[in-house]
Structure 1
Amino acid sequence: MADLQFDAPPTLRTVADLPCPRGVPLLGNLFQMAPAKLHLTLEQWARQFGSPYRVQLGTIPVTVWTQADLFQTVMRERPHLYRRFAPMESVMAELGGNGVFSAEGAAWEPQRRLVMRALSFPNVKSFFPTLAAITGRFLVRLQDAAKERRTLEMTKELKRYTVDVTSTLAFGEDPHTLERERGVIQEQLALVPPALMRRVTALFPYWHYFTLPEDRRLARAMVEVHGYIRQMIERTRERMHESPDAPPRNLLEAMLAARNEPDSTVTDEQISANVLTLLVAGEDTTANAIAWALMYVAADDRLQQRLFEQSRAVFGEAGICPDYDALKHLDLCEAVCNEALRLRPVAAIQTFEPLSDVQIGGVAIPTGTRMLFLTRPAMLDPLNFAHPERFDPDRWRHPRDPSEGAHELKAYLTFGAGPRVCPGRYLAAVEMRLVLSMMLRHFEIELAIDPAKIEEVSAFTMVPNTMPVRLKPRS
């Protein structure tokens, strides 16, 4: 009788079994991982070694992953089985910003409820008239630049807009950075994401022992930022004291009201931390997402004409999108931004570590092992998106026939997934439609630089090193 053969169970690999780029003794791959190019270096190694692989920061192993299904698994099992890198929470705490983005465990849930409520779909919809007014002020600023034939550094201009939007929605105060040239708060906020990148990826907390020039600049900036936040909180407390029976009108008032409730677990430090978190996140991510979209739009005259025609049809005689319900007719604008973020994801790296020993993707991962998930490789995989190298906004605009090729939405990892999906995604979608439609309705757009010279920079988020744009008014 023939021998019976059974398939052997797959062998579980350890972290040490994973392939690893050649490094140097003691330091491992540390000096091969320049913070400003970290995502590009990790993506290159993923193409070489597959996923997962391992890098060494001295004696610390870091696993690197690209599979979208495993990313979804980890995100679904947060915050109970996985957390962000522990250094993320400690670094943010040192900066006074350990809010909803970086807080873990029991400290996270009450903050999350407040932030999600403030940035919910109904609140963003009710905020639309104010958002439209800020967009109108942005249009005036761009029209002035176009008349003077000035080249605009578009990322900086967009950050003025997003700071005004975020501050008004979340804190009830419009800083009017669109009308000011100097002394605006985002000059200080801009130093925070690069500092996070440096410190979270550092081999040890060197700034506890000696400070570099950029650390000293950061310290001075944080004094100004926290002074700005304290004054904002005090003004809000005064307004609430004058109208004690009025319901909370924004996130800051809701947090202060929760702070005053009996047996409240909300602290002054948490309130300040969430103000800082929303200022940084609301300014940085959406502004850079729109900037990347403009790079693609500027290179395609036919796409510009289509965006112009759609915006003109929706606006009628108005200068910007006239009401919230009209936004749904600006689907090409959102498709352009979706496609830009697929090719240029602002959140190119996501960081995690397990809270207990886990097995994932056939690898045994001990408690506390650092895990980096790269979001772009899955979005450039032809198994997930047809012709993934092509900038094709129309892939997002209509129900796809299977004959058109893959379009796997679960591989679109821009806003995360699971319980900790980005709370600002509704606001970001509205801002992107509003700004792109406004700009293409009123201007022809051209880059003032060869697109090949625009570099991707890891500054916690993935940002363009420059985005100089010239605007020509449409007749």
Structure 2
Amino acid sequence: MSILLEVLTSARHYADIPTTMAATCVFLLTYLYLQRPKNLPPGPRGWPLLGNITMLAKGHRFLTMTEWAKTYGPVYRIQLGRRTVVVLSGYDVMHEALVKRGEDFSSRPNDPVTKLINPQRLGIISAPFGTPWKEHRKFTLMSLREFGFGKRSLEGKILEESVALQAEIMKMGNKPFNIRRMVQNAVTNVICSIVFGSRFEYNDDKFTRLMDALDRGLSFNFFGQIAVFFPILRRVPGLGQGPQIMLDLMGTIRAYLREEMDSHKKTFDSNDIRDLIDSYVRETKSREKDDETTFTDGYTEMVLFDMFVAGAETTSTTLYWAFLYMILNPDIQAKVQEEIHSVLGYDKPPSTAHRAQMPYTEAVLTEVARIGTILPTSVTRATSRDTSFHGYNIPEGTAVLPNLWSVHHDPQHFPNPGKFDPGRFLDAQGQYQRDDHVMPFGLGPRICLGKQLAEMELFVFFTSLLQHFTFNLPQGAAKPTTTGINGITHSPKNFELVAEPLA
């Protein structure tokens, strides 16, 4: 920067103010250009300082990114302000990076969002690749399995919520209603049972505040994020609300988590581990004399936060997409119900053990995951070390976006990708055939920790509700759009349906 001062001092003697400002801008842009690492992937040109932000703000950013891959190839670069982000497109490239080269591409960026809401990068979702992350991910999975995670014993909790959800739907009678919040409540209560050891009544005031905070935080759109990337814009009316919404979400949920942690410590019994909090309390107590341990209250709080937010949102949004496509495709819904009733009748509760007997239902849920793609650009990765990939040099810590939409909507693999067609996942004998190109939970070492739980919830909730109800478009209502909302997740725009009880 001493060179800049010399330039400005000289400019005062030989040029007017506009010339000085122009010279300063040229110097800064040249300086930034020279600081950029060499041999990065190519990418679209952006605006000075802003990069490609304004281009991505138009429409759905994952669609724009998919189009850019046609020009710049499956590995290209975009600029979000001064941040360089490498975008991966297509199954082969993604599998190579996230699975075959998993350790190189399994960190997390220390981006402005993380700096705002989790500056210490604790927990599981935002934690960088390394020993603490590996240790807590492994411990959390072991603890979850200890009390039923991934086992049929957990189905009891899901079925309990399914019955409660059915009762809420019955209250609607023949009136049109939006099923979104009901599904959110049910799915979130399953997470509460695992993390806190208990569920809420849906009209509980504390539960309502938590769900309201979750809704506000996850509706955080692209324009709201601009003020996160450029803190000076937080002073601009309207733009500064975005960061505050995120902080409010964090504050509301973390305050509840601290309350639950304090309560669990007071009633802790090492012979009766009730939930995930108890597991962490036990482990933290066992490491009290270890000065190097990461099993602290702060770390535990962020692990619980990650479990609560991720577990509540992703599954409920997938189910919301499922009900949208059922009311838009009554013939497909009828076929699902025929299969459910042939296996379960009208009264037998569903179990994941029935999945193999319901290939069409399984195909429908796979098609929902493909066409809805609730995390179109997955969760941002980062390189864990300096990496050479496809002939390009990608420095350590560079943000990496796997564009899942480019795989799920690849017309070469999925002809007419905008059409809802469960037949894509059935063989000539009508049996379900898995397709690795559908990967809603991600790939590699960072694959979603809650994958087993989510698959269990989706199957049990979906089959139990279609076992007891037919969902229809309200009479005279216009067909809802399948164009989603571009928020933190890709979710359907609000729509209403009518639930017709079955015998």
TM-score by structure 1 length? 0.84
After TM superposition, give the deviation of residue 113 of structure 1 in Å: 1.2
Residue matched to 2:484: 456
Once the 2 structures are TM-superposed, how far is the Cα of residue 391 of structure 1 from its aligned partner?
A: 2.2
The code of the aligned residue for 1:422 comes to: C
Counterpart of 2:5?
Answer: none
SS at match of 1:410: coil
**Are 1:347 and 2:361 matched, yes or no?**
no
Cα deviation 1:145-185 (Å, max 9, x = unaligned)? 1x1x3322222221111111111123212122277798341
Structure 2: which amino acid aligns with 1:85? Answer: P
2:42 and 2:92 map into 1 onto residues whose CA distance is 19
- Unmatched runs of 5 consecutive residues or more in structure 1: 1-12
In the alignment, what sits opposite 2:124? 100
Question: Which residue of 250, 258, 268 maps to 1:230?
Answer: 258
Matches within 5 A, 1:216-295: 216-240=244-268, 243-246=269-272, 248-262=273-287, 263=290, 264-295=293-324
Match of 1:141 among 147, 151, 168: 168
CA contact (8 A) 1:295 1:451 kept: no
Q: Give 2:484's aligned amino acid.
A: E
**Aligned pair 1:131/2:158, yes or no?**
yes
Residue 156 (1) aligns with residue 159 (2):
no
1:457-472 matches, within 5 Å, as 457-472=485-500
Consecutive unaligned residues of structure 2, counting only runs of 5 or more, are: 1-36
What amino acid sits opposite 1:361 in the alignment? H
Tell me whether 43-52 or 99-108 shows the greater mean CA deviation.
43-52
Greater relative contact order (Cα < 8 A, sep 6+):
1
Whole-Å separation in 1 of the counterparts to 2:187 and 2:448: 16
Q: Corresponding residue for 2:402?
A: 373
Aligned residues: 451
* Residue 78 (structure 1) shift: 4.0
SS in 1 for 2:490: strand
For 1:168, the equivalent position in structure 2 comes to: 193
Change (3 A) 1:254 1:201: farther
Query: Distance in 2 between the 1:97 and 1:451 partners?
Result: 43
In the alignment, the residues of structure 2 paired with residue 435 and residue 216 of structure 1 have an alpha-carbon distance, to the nearest angstrom, of 34
Q: 2:225·2:243 contact (CA, 8 Å) conserved in 1? A: no
The 1:17/1:217 distance shift into structure 2, 3 A limit, reads closer
For residues 209 and 189 of structure 2, the distance between their equivalents in structure 1, rounded to whole angstroms, comes to: 11
Cα gap change, 1:430/1:180 in structure 2, threshold over 3 Å: closer, same or farther? farther
> Which stretch shifts more, 81-90 or 373-382?
81-90
Judged with a 3 Å threshold, the aligned counterparts in structure 2 of structure 1 residues 386 and 273 are, in CA distance, closer, same or farther, namely: same
Q: How does 1:55-94 map to 2 (within 5 A)?
A: 55-76=78-99, 77-79=101-103, 82-87=106-111, 89-94=114-119
User: Are residue 33 (structure 1) and residue 72 (structure 2) matched?
Assistant: no
Cα distance change on mapping 1:410 and 1:324 into 2, 3 Å: closer
**How far is the alpha carbon of 1:259 from its aligned partner?**
0.9
Cα shift at 1:221:
4.1
Structure-1 residue corresponding to 2:464: 438
Residue 419 (1) aligns with residue 448 (2): no
**TM-score between the two structures when normalised by the length of structure 2:** 0.80
State the secondary structure of the residue aligned to 1:103: coil
Q: Distance in 1 between matches of 2:124 and 2:221?
A: 16
- 1:91/1:199 contact within 8 Å kept: no
In the alignment, what sits opposite 2:213?
188
Q: How many Å apart are 1:315 and its aligned residue?
A: 2.8
Cα deviation for residue 278 of structure 1 reads 1.2
Distance 1:410 1:310 in 2: 25
Deviations 1:114-161 (A, max 9, x none): 22224459533211112211111111111111x1x3322222221111
- Relative distance call for 1:81 and 1:27 in structure 2 (3 A) is closer
Which amino acid counterpart does residue 109 of structure 2 have in structure 1? F
What is the CA distance between 1:285 and its match in structure 2? Answer: 0.3
Q: 278, 300, 315: which one pairs with 2:329? A: 300
Contact 1:29 1:57 in 2 (8 A): yes
| Cα distance change of structure 1 residues 300 and 32 upon mapping to structure 2, 3 Å threshold | same
The one-letter amino acid paired with 1:373 is P
Other-structure match for 2:366? 338
Could you tell me the percent identity over the aligned residues?
Answer: 21
